[in-house]
Amino acid sequence: MNALHDEPDAIHDVIGIGFGPSNLALAIAIEEHNAGATPESRIRAEFLERQPSFGWHRGMLIDDATMQVSFLKDLVTMRNPTSDFTFLCFLRERGRLVDFLNAKTLFPLRIEFHEYFEWAAARLAHLVGYDSEVLSVEPVRSDEGEVRWFDVTSRVPGSPERTVTRRARNISVAVGLEPHLPPGTTLSERVWHNSELVPRVAELAASGTPVDRILVLGAGQSGAEAVDYLHRSFPDTEICAVFAKYGYTPADDSPFANRIFDPEAVDVYFRSAPEVKQSLVDYHRSTNYSVVDMDLIESLYATMYREKVLGRERLLLRNVSRIRDVQARDDRLDVTVEYLPTGEREIISSDLLVHATGYRPRDLDALLGRASKLCLRDDKDAVLVGRDHRVEFTPEVTAGIYVQGATEHTHGLTSTLLSTTAVRSGEILDSLLAHRAGDAAARTDCPTPTAA
């Protein structure tokens, strides 16, 4: 059963697709704007999230893992330090503000920052529909032929066979990243991606199933964390890390390098020529990609050395190596690992293989459907996005699509990170208000839209 809300007073100013940190920050910005705005100046917004509740990288909420960005880069502080949605306000409400200050750290536990996100999301429950997977986005034309709206169709919570369609002048796409796997890889009970590490480990530990050996593929922060967590969780199991590097590479978190994550750096990147953008990414990959915090590197090395001294080595490396084949047997995996300098191959029998192979942006074209055909693109077929995070369209489109998290090609390394989330939400809000003011000055909504 479909329901279409197409009367003028039901048209949303913006519908958010996804409700992770990016759209949560936008929801806060809109809520704070509306609190001080006249009724006619308020933004009508709604957010749709396919998960049954708020969740952010739940599978990597290791109990002692810390954030890699300062708590001041929360959902609001960089945009509005006086907001009552700051991490510090959350701590005060939880009764932990003094305790956190005494810890003398800028980097909270990851599990605590997730608690902060849940706290903020709960305060905005009236703006979000959970268990509402978006199925399609359809452009809608006015009688004059302009694409002024998008119809967003989603599943009805609790009734997956039913759908509901909402109409909006703008949508904000923030659907996060999806696990990246080597070609031909199929996940199973024995082959995991690290995004499901914590619950998988809990299930395996509870089952009592003996585990002799686990391989972990990947040389980045997630890979090193997985190795460390598995080593601690299974004290009688051999953990073997496999990666093409010679050793783990330290993350460059020095003050000057970290300026690549400043809001001003987004302006610099956006204005740069394509070859300069590529150079900036190449120069500063070590701030984010396939790198590991130095404290964790030193801890893993100390563990390996201690085990060598004691004569019981459980933490092993296959460096300068690649996995060439994985064969599933009834009771194990036979993993072929090639040592790259010589080409020598060995078959390592393992109970589990964990892929810590990163993430990639979700397919925007698949989500947007026919609307994606209206997007302008560069010479590499990437969607063109303006500085205000609004997709550039063909001239007949006056509705807007804002993209968060899939704009590294236009906005730089911060696109998929928390560093500029608060600032970006303010930029999108300003753009929404500016475009609405321009539309109101030019015309009023047509009451008889038709499907594009």
pLDDT in tens, 350-389: 999 999 999 998 888 999 999 999 999 999 999 999 999 9
Residue with tokens 């078959």: 347
Q: Does the pLDDT of residue 166 top 60, yes or no?
A: yes
Identical fold, 4-176+362-451 and 179-251+288-355: yes
Q: Note the pLDDT tens digit of each residue in 382-395.
A: 999 999 999 999 99
The mean per-residue pLDDT over the stretch 2-9 comes to 43
pLDDT band at 6 (very low <50, low <70, confident <90, very high): very low
Average of per-residue pLDDT across 144-165: 94
Q: How much is the pLDDT for 189?
A: 96
CATH number belonging to domain 4-176+362-451:
3.50.50.60
Give the pairing of strands 333-339 and 321-328. antiparallel
Q: Of 338 and 438, which is predicted with more confidence?
A: 338
Mean pLDDT of 142-157: 95
CATH code of the domain occupying 179-251+288-355? 3.50.50.60
The model's pTM is 0.93
Specify whether the CB–CB gap between 6 and 167 falls below 8 A. Answer: yes
pLDDT of residue 332: 96
Q: Is residue 1 very low, low, confident or very high in pLDDT (cuts 50, 70, 90)? A: very low
Give the model's confidence band at 160: pLDDT under 50 very low, under 70 low, under 90 confident, else very high. confident
**pLDDT score recorded for residue 449:** 46
Q: What mean pLDDT is predicted for residues 401-408?
A: 94
Q: Are 216 and 356 in contact (CB under 8 A)?
A: yes
Residue 168 scores a pLDDT above 60 = yes
Domain boundaries, given as residue ranges, for the chain: 4-176+362-451, 179-251+288-355, 255-287
- For the chain, what is the total number of helices (H) and then of strands (E)? 13, 20
Using one digit for the tens of pLDDT, what is the confidence trace for 208-233? 999 999 999 999 999 999 999 999 99
Quickly list DSSP for 202-261. HHHHHHT----EEEEE--SHHHHHHHHHHHHH-TTSEEEEE-SSSSPPBP---HHHHGGG
Buried b (16+ CB within 10 A) or exposed e, 132-168: bebebbbbbbbeeebbbbbbbbbbbeeeeeebbbbbb
Tokens matching residue 321: 């190596």
Question: Does position 441 have pLDDT exceeding 70, yes or no?
Answer: no
For residue 251, count other CB atoms closer than 10 A to its CB. Answer: 21
pLDDT value at residue 440 = 66
Residues 6+ apart with CB under 8 A from 213: 237, 238, 239, 240, 348, 349, 350, 351
